[in-house]
């Protein structure tokens, strides 16, 4: 054991206790961490950054984010620049960040991997100061997240409903956006339905996309979707789901250490790690090197997802 349980505060998503699966998952993880670790639930409407900062002020040096990628991103945002470590107890639908670390998806095994893990500093991306770990985007994807939120509220959370939200959004798609994109000082005028900025090598592998080297070089992999009809966009979505999206034909790929995006709308909706908000342009993307300390599993505990 390299991470003492007494240093651990588990910060749980408010939704994580509403169903028996997540409740049982948290209980299983806490039984592994033991009584010395503490569980704190934040509630909808709470300032998550302030909530995490209170745990840090109380002396905890490892904050375990229990939830999906959005919860992990929110806790990471609070911890960037500090010496406090981030652990992840994956409870979400996709868990891209946890899977990229090689963490087990079973709660008890994930907890054991955290206790036996070691600390590592990583670079993170940010857009207008908001940290993200997997991706950020402007255009179609934020609309998909809004549709997904509405479908989840009616039918519950599942991968099937997540994919259905993609189809519904594409069918209702109206028109692409005009954007001005400046990557490492070079400006491009675009008409595109989507600019997708990636920081997760695992997510790129999952969808068969090129660009992993940019991630390892602490750069962004930036994907610009080609404009097309609704039918063409549906075909592109199918190719993406099956790992057959074609660079140069369906999308353009560029890499950049700095990126600015200006849209025709002064406050476009921006998505980041499954969350969304409106931001003022220009959207300024930056890499923050060695900004976050995370707990990564020991080689014996790693799983290939």
Mean pLDDT for all residues in the chain = 87
> Is residue 228 predicted with pLDDT exceeding 70?
no
Asked if residue 16 and residue 49 are part of one domain, the reply reads: yes
Asked whether the CA dihedral 68, 268, 135, 87 is positive or negative, the reply is negative
User: Is residue 130 situated within a structural domain?
Assistant: no
CA dist 293 and 90 (Å) reads 17
Q: Are residues 172 and 223 in the same domain?
A: yes
CATH number for 18: 3.40.50.10330
- Reply yes or no on whether the pLDDT at 18 is more than 60: no
**Closest to 170 in 3D by CA, of 198, 189, 152, 194:** 194
Residue at 101 is within a domain: yes
Q: Is 200 within a domain? A: yes
- pLDDT at position 65, please? 97
Residues 104 and 159 in one domain: no
In a shared domain, residues 58 and 170: no
- For residue 32, which of 91, 102, 111 has the smallest C-alpha distance? 111
pLDDT in tens, 148-198: 666 666 656 666 666 555 556 655 665 678 999 999 999 999 988 889 999
Q: 249 and 151, same structural domain? A: yes
Alpha carbons 192 and 226: distance in angstroms, whole number: 6
In a domain, 282, yes or no: no
On whether both 154 and 95 belong to a single domain, the answer is no
Distance, CA of 295 to CA of 42 (rounded, Å): 22
Please count the structural domains in the chain. Answer: 2
Q: Are residues 157 and 245 in the same domain?
A: yes
Select the more confidently predicted residue: 261 or 93.
Answer: 261
Question: Does residue 145 form part of some domain?
Answer: yes
Whether pLDDT at 231 is above 60:
no
* Any domain includes 37: yes
pLDDT in tens, 130-141: 999 999 999 876
Range of the domain at 229: 135-272
Co-location of 179 and 263 in the same domain: yes
pLDDT at 166: 57
């Amino acid at each position: 054991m390299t991470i003492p349980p007494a240093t651990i505060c588990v910060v749980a998503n408010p939704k994580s206790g509403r169903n028996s699966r997540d409740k049982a998952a948290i209980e299983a993880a806490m039984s592994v961490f033991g009584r010395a670790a503490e569980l704190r639930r934040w509630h909808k409407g709470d300032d998550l950054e302030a909530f995490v900062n209170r745990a840090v002020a109380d002396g905890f040096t490892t904050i375990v984010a229990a939830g999906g990628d959005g919860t992990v991103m929110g806790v990471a945002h609070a911890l960037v620049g500090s010496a406090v470590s981030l652990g992840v107890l994956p409870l979400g639908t996709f868990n891209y960040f946890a899977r990229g670390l090689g963490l087990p998806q079973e709660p008890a095994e994930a907890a054991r991997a955290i206790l036996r893990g070691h600390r590592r500093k990583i670079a993170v991306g940010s857009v207008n100061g908001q940290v993200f770990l997997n991706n950020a985007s402007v255009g179609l994807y934020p609309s998909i997240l809004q549709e997904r939120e509405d479908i989840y509220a009616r039918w519950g959370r599942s991968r099937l409903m997540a994919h259905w939200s993609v189809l519904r959004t594409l069918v209702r798609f109206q028109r692409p956006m005009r954007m001005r994109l400046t990557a490492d000082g070079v400006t491009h005028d675009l008409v595109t339905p989507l600019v997708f900025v990636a920081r997760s090598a695992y997510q790129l592998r999952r969808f068969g996309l090129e660009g992993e080297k940019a991630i390892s070089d602490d750069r962004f992999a930036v994907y610009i979707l080609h404009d097309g009809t609704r039918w063409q966009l549906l075909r592109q979505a199918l190719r993406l789901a099956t790992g057959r999206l074609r660079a140069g034909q369906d999308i353009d790929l560029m890499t950049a250490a700095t990126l600015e995006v200006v849209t025709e709308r002064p406050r476009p909706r921006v998505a980041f790690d499954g969350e969304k908000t409106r931001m003022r342009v220009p959207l300024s993307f930056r890499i923050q090197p060695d900004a976050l300390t995370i707990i990564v599993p020991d080689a014996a505990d790693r799983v290939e997802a």
